[in-house]
Each structure stands twice: as C-alpha cells, then as structure tokens.
C-alpha cells in the first residue's frame, strides 16, 4: 500500500518552495537585501533572524534564511549579477578555519589546502575566487551563538574576517563580496552576542513559535506535496496534530515535530498495509514525541467511576475519528458501561468533577463547543498523545471486562 508520493517532502533536508504564513517576514528580508541585486559590491548590510520565545526550535529560522538567499540570487540573476548562497551551520564547529573550509568546499574552490593554512590565507583564496569569477556571496551563518561560546574561540577573528574583511584586504578587494545573514537561536542569545556584531546589524527579524492554524497550513501543504492523495490524511487528524502542538494551545509550536508526527503516522499506516491514516496511528506517532506517556499507574490510581468514564470515552473515540465528544453523548455511553458492570451511575455534577480531574491529570482534553450547538456544552476527548487502543485494553483489565 503506497501512501507516500514523495517521501523526501517529509524529511528535514527538504526546503519548501515557499514559507507558509511567513511570507511577510521573507518579503521584509528580501527588501532589506534587495539593493545588492541592483548594485552589488558597494556596501554591505547584515540582518539577523532569531526566535522571540526562549528555547523554541523548528520555527522556520533556517528555512527563512535559505529562502531569502535563494530569492536574492534569483533577483540578482535577472539583473545580470551572480550571487551564490553559502550556508554554514557552525553549531559543531570549533573555529574560524572550519567555517572557511566549509565555504571553500561549497564554492568548489580548488588548489587550497585548508590544513596548515591561516584564516587570512583561506579568506584570501575565497575572495580571489569571487573576484576572478565575478560573483558575490550571501553567507548564512546559522547558530552563530554556539561558536561564540566555544572556549578559545577568537571573536575578533570572526568579526574581521566576515564583517570587516575590506579593512584587512584594503587595496586587494575593492568591493564587498560577502553579505552575511545571521541566524541566532533566540532573543536571549542574541542579547548576549558581542556588541561589535550587534551594532553592525541593520535588521532584526524575530520569529514566534507557530500557532495551531499556522501549523495546520504548513502540514496541509506538505501532505498535498508528499502523499498520493491528500484525502488519505483526513483534515480532522491534521487538526488533531496541530491542535496538540500549536503554541497557542500550549504546545511547542514546532513545525519540524509537526511534520515528523505526520510522517510517522503515514509510515504506521503503510507498515500495517492500510491505505488511509487513522486516528490510532496519529495517537501512536504523537505518543512518541509527547512528554506524557500513558503509565499504568496513572490509570490504576483512578477511582472506579473515573475509570468507567474514561473507558466510555475511549470507546467513543474509537468510533469517531478525531472528533470531540459532547458531554451528553459521553454520559449516555457511561451509563451503558455502568449497566454492563451493574454499577449505579453517578449524577451529572459528579461526572463533571471527574472530567475536571481526568483533564488535570492529562488523560483527557476538554473544550467548550462553539455557538452553533444549542447552548454551549463541554466537549471532551482522550488526550491526543495517548494511543486509545492500549488505553482501552488497560481499562478493560482494570474493570474486569476482558
């Protein structure tokens, strides 16, 4: 059973042709660098991209930087200039020589021996190549905060080589050939960066973690590109993932995790020989990234009627793919299970208390219905990171139903 049309669309190395819900940031950056597509070499401006919320990854920083460089080189080509995008992630690098070596390799510069050469010699080789072949570089330095923290790292060298090289090579290089674009993990790290670098930056672009609806658009776009038929991944399940991971719903707001969960859900379907993605697969995939794992203890420690209620909800979840369950429907199912067990059902207000507790324990989620449904009613569902079948089996054991 094939569901994937193009698997690589779901991998981390794939660069989407456009940034969903981030177009205005991209436009801002492209406008900022646009002058170099008209008269490159005259002066150099530097922009920085960072996350506005501490410690969040997968929010599109790297992709935004790469797409900026791509657009700029396309614009320049129309005007007859060559701007080559160069990308270095300095996260695991120890010094300036490694950065320069990576640039030399990407540009395909021959006849230089990075080992045993000084940074100045390497930089000279890069600039000579650019001058002789007449091109410019948009140099993305990703995760720049990490290299600056390395012990023994020479900050001055970095500044002079990449930002003030025209001073070192005065008389040799008569125009700017390198246009840096910096990517820093978050605002706090940016605040700790050396003043020398900060003062050279002319544009700061802050990115927020993604909200649910933004993740939805991003994921839907991938599904359309990567699956044989997007209908194989029901919208309600896309929403289940993005609802769980959205920043506005106290998720991480991480697009990478979102795409990975979808990829895993599809893989589970394919492995099982299924031709559609089902709620169970999504839950299983979410449970792999979730911090909450269903533990026997958290279920065993519940009171009898909480277990019955949770069991009723898990039965309903298995029937209704990704849907929220109204309080009324849940109460009916709960009463049915009570009958099987010969238990006297608890009253409505008591059930409400149980719902609150189950939600507090992270076993279920609650929401209020919109205005459409007569009055407003409480909606519930099993927390999306819990696979329902194993939960149901566990409860059957607990309730001696199996």
Asked if 69 interacts with ligand ATP (CB under 6 A), we say: no
Question: Phi and psi of 53, rounded to 5°?
Answer: -110, 130
Which residue lies nearest Mg ion, judged by its C-beta? 62
Stretch 357-376 residues interacting with Mg ion (CB under 5 A): none
Q: Minimum distance between the CB of residue 156 and ligand ATP, rounded to whole angstroms?
A: 27
Give which of Mg ion, ligand ATP, none residue 256 binds (C-beta under 5 to 8 Å, depending on kind).
ligand ATP
Burial class (CB in 10 A: 0-12, 13-18, 19+), 296: exposed
Asked if 381 interacts with ligand ATP (CB under 6 A), we say: no
Separation of first and last alpha carbons in the chain: 33
Per-position x/- string for 27-66, each x denoting binding to Mg ion as judged by CB under 5 A, each - no binding:
----------------------------------xx----
CA atoms within 13 A of residue 189's CA, in its CB half-sphere: 23
Give which of ligand ATP, Mg ion, none residue 63 binds (C-beta under 5 to 8 Å, depending on kind).
ligand ATP
Residue number with CB closer to ligand ATP (22 or 177): 22
Options 253-261, 274-282, 336-344, 353-361: segment touching ligand ATP (CB under 6 A): 253-261
Candidates 378, 335, 383, 376; CA nearest to 359 is 383
Asked if 48 interacts with ligand ATP (CB under 6 A), we say: no
DSSP state of 249: G
* Cβ contact 330:313 at 8 Å: yes
Asked if 57 interacts with ligand ATP (CB under 6 A), we say: yes
Residue number with CB closer to ligand ATP (26 or 312): 26
Stretch 221-260 residues interacting with Mg ion (CB under 5 A): none
**C-alpha 146: how far from its chain's center?**
20
Q: Minimum distance between the CB of residue 259 and ligand ATP, rounded to whole angstroms?
A: 6
Give the C-alpha separation, 364 to 358, whole Å: 6
* Cβ contact 254:242 at 8 Å: no
Asked if 259 interacts with ligand ATP (CB under 6 A), we say: yes
- Which residues, other chains included, contact 270 with Cβ-Cβ below 8 Å and sequence gap of 6+? 1, 2, 3, 4
> For residue 53, how many other CB atoms are within 10 A of its CB?
16
> For residue 31, how many other CB atoms are within 10 A of its CB?
10
Among 9, 22, 138, 239, binds ligand ATP (CB under 6 A): 22
Full DSSP string of 275-309: SS--HHHHHHHHHHH-S----HHHHHTS-HHHHHH
Residue number with CB closer to ligand ATP (143 or 331): 143
Residue number with CB closer to ligand ATP (18 or 105): 18
Give which of Mg ion, ligand ATP, none residue 255 binds (C-beta under 5 to 8 Å, depending on kind).
ligand ATP
Asked if 225 interacts with ligand ATP (CB under 6 A), we say: no
Asked if 145 interacts with ligand ATP (CB under 6 A), we say: no
Among 37, 48, 60, 193, binds ligand ATP (CB under 6 A): 60
Asked if 63 interacts with ligand ATP (CB under 6 A), we say: yes
Asked if 255 interacts with ligand ATP (CB under 6 A), we say: yes
Residue number with CB closer to ligand ATP (95 or 206): 206
Give the C-alpha separation, 307 to 354, whole Å: 10
Q: Which letter, b or e, does each residue of 383-396 get, where b requires 16 or more Cβ atoms within 10 Å of its Cβ?
A: bbbbbbeebbebbe
Q: Minimum distance between the CB of residue 185 and ligand ATP, rounded to whole angstroms?
A: 6
Residue number with CB closer to Mg ion (61 or 278): 61
Tokens of 380: 């519930």
Candidates 121, 15, 24, 120; CA nearest to 69 is 15
Among 9, 29, 36, 62, binds ligand ATP (CB under 6 A): 62
* Cβ contact 218:255 at 8 Å: yes
Q: Enumerate binding residues for Mg ion (CB under 5 A).
A: 61-62
User: Where on the chain is the footprint of ligand ATP (CB under 6 A)?
Assistant: 12, 16, 19-22, 57-63, 218, 255-256, 259
């Amino acid at each position: 059973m094939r569901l994937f049309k193009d698997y690589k669309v779901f991998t981390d190395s794939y660069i989407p042709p456009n940034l969903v819900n981030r177009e205005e940031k991209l436009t801002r950056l492209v406008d900022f660098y646009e002058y170099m597509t008209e008269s490159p070499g005259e002066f150099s401006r530097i922009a920085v991209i960072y996350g506005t919320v501490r410690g969040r990854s997968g929010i599109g920083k790297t992709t935004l930087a790469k797409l900026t460089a791509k657009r700029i080189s396309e614009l320049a080509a129309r005007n007859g200039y060559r701007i080559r995008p160069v990308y270095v992630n300095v996260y695991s690098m120890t010094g300036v020589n490694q950065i320069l070596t990576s640039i030399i390799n990407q540009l395909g510069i021959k006849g230089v021996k990075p080992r045993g050469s000084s940074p100045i010699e390497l930089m000279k080789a890069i600039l000579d190549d650019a001058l002789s072949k007449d091109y410019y570089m948009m140099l993305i330095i990703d995760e720049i905060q990490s290299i600056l923290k390395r012990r023994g790292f020479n900050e001055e060298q970095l500044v002079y080589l990449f930002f003030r090289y025209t001073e070192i090579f005065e008389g040799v290089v008569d125009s700017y050939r390198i246009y840096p674009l910096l990517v820093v993990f978050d605002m706090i790290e940016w605040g700790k960066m050396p003043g020398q670098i900060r003062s050279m930056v002319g544009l700061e672009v802050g990115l927020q973690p993604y909200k649910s609806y933004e993740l939805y658009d991003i994921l839907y776009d991938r599904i359309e590109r990567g699956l044989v038929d997007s209908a194989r991944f029901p919208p309600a399940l896309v929403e289940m993932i993005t609802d769980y991971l959205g920043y506005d719903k106290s998720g991480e707001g991480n697009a990478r995790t979102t795409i990975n969960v979808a990829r895993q859900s599809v893989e589970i379907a394919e492995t099982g020989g299924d031709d559609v993605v089902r709620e169970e697969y999504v839950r299983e995939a979410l449970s792999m990234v979730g911090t909450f794992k269903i533990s026997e203890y958290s279920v065993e420690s519940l009171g009898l009627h909480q277990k019955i209620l949770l069991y009723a909800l898990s039965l309903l979840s298995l029937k209704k793919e990704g849907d929220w369950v109204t309080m009324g429907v849940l109460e009916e199912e709960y009463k049915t299970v009570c009958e099987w067990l010969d238990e006297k059902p608890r009253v409505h207000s008591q059930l409400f208390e149980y719902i609150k507790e189950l939600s507090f324990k992270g076993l279920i989620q609650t929401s209020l219905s919109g205005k459409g449904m007569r009055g407003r009613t409480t909606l519930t569902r099993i927390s999306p990171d819990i696979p329902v079948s194993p939960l149901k089996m566990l409860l059957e054991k607990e309730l001696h139903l199996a």
